[in-house]
Amino acid sequence: MATDRDVVEELVHAARDRSPEVARLPEAENRRHVAVLLATGLDFLERADEPGAPDFEAAHALGADRAAQGISIDGLLRGVQAGRTSAMKIAIARSRAAGVPDQVLLEGVVDLDRYTGALERHVVNGYHTAELELSRTNRDADTHLLRRLLLPGDGPPPDTADLRRAGLSPDNPYHCLVSDVTEPGAARALERRLPAGGVYGLVEGRLTGLAPHPPTTELAVRLVVSPATRLDRVRDVHPLCVAALRVTAEVGVHHLTDLAGAVALTAQPVLADLLRGTLTGLDRHDDFHRELVATALVYLDHGQRLRHAATALHVHPNTVRYRLDRLAELTGTPWDDGTPTVLRTLRHWWALRTWLDRR
């Protein structure tokens, strides 16, 4: 179970389904902790008969990270307990399928329950320890203010005095920044490289902030920056930055407005599926079909110009023409239909992109 990716995914989904607060974190953050805790459990069971206390540092770190990320203790325990129940069910089912005798299975379940109980206690201890440390710092106050500004349901928006105490001017616009950094230590390191005069903290598990100007240095992370926005509107802009972060895979600073089209399209998943369904002649498991779709996307991305697309693909223009013709035969859709309109090109691009991404 400790090395099975399917098990990790099942425990992640169990935790996210049971705890809405945990579900607000990036899945990669949930996946990281589940994998570490499973590996810790394996080590615990293998050394159960050895003297000395087992190492629960990973559980302590999980609790500390969730406190820093603003997850309540109730939300944290809901996720931990859901993962615990799911792990027990999987272990029992796999043991029975492998023909493990009932007596041996019972002994194993008792050991597993002992581990998960100890795990839960260390998670709670790590949470409370971090909570006490955070309460002594200005960072916690700034993070709490940031969450009140950006998240509905995290308390009333801060008043003018609160904003000024955090160094924000109610009359000035700020750029909303959302990064893919989730680990608190890495978040603090990145924060030191962001513009001075802003407020930064972990919001929904990601390093987020309000900056007086966009970052000017190269960053080895994914970070989305909105246009300068009044503080009374940043709550509407923040979810757009989060959505933009999901649609870009390249490291670096990305401007929200540059990703506006992709963000708008991802907000219509049902329509995307309907468009994907129009490509009935394509087989998702056929490498040649995927090559045809990828070629058509490059063709559309390069202004429907054969030579530009061929240069980008490092092939002859006739090869691009052949692939487009084959794609038209398979789908019944011409991909170079005269003088293209913006909306027709968008419809073609969206259908192909959705088909390729969801193969």
Give the total number of structural domains in the chain: 3
Name the residue range of residue 353's domain: 269-357
* 80 and 175 together in one domain: no
Report yes or no on whether pTM surpasses 0.75.
no
Kindly state whether residues 242 and 319 are assigned to the same domain. Answer: no
Shared domain check, 125 and 14: yes
> Which of 265, 293, 313 marks a domain boundary?
265
In a domain, 159, yes or no: no
Residue 24 scores a pLDDT above 60: yes
Residues 251 and 307 both lie in one domain: no
- Domain with residue 347: its CATH number is 1.10.10.2840
Q: Note whether 103 and 65 are same-domain residues.
A: yes
pLDDT tens for 198-225 read 999 999 889 999 999 999 888 999 999 9
Residues 276, 301, single domain; the answer is: yes
Per-range mean pLDDT, top range of 48-52, 174-178, 297-301? 174-178
Query: Is residue 270 pLDDT above 80, yes or no?
Result: yes
235 and 213 assigned to the same domain: yes
328 with 278, same domain?
yes
Shared domain for 260 and 305, answered yes or no, is no
pLDDT tens track for 132-154: 676 556 677 888 889 999 998 76
Share above pLDDT 90 across residues of the chain, in percent, rounded to a whole number? 33
Residues paired with 201 in a beta bridge = 208
Residue 50 has pLDDT above 70, yes or no: no
H helices present in the chain, as ranges: 5-18, 20-23, 27-46, 57-68, 73-97, 102-135, 138-150, 160-165, 184-191, 234-247, 260-266, 269-276, 287-301, 306-313, 317-331, 342-357
Mean pLDDT of 276-291: 88
For residues 332 and 299, state if they share a domain: yes
Using 50, 70 and 90 to split pLDDT, how confident is the model at 37?
confident
24 and 123 co-located in one domain: yes
Q: Is residue 103 part of a domain?
A: yes
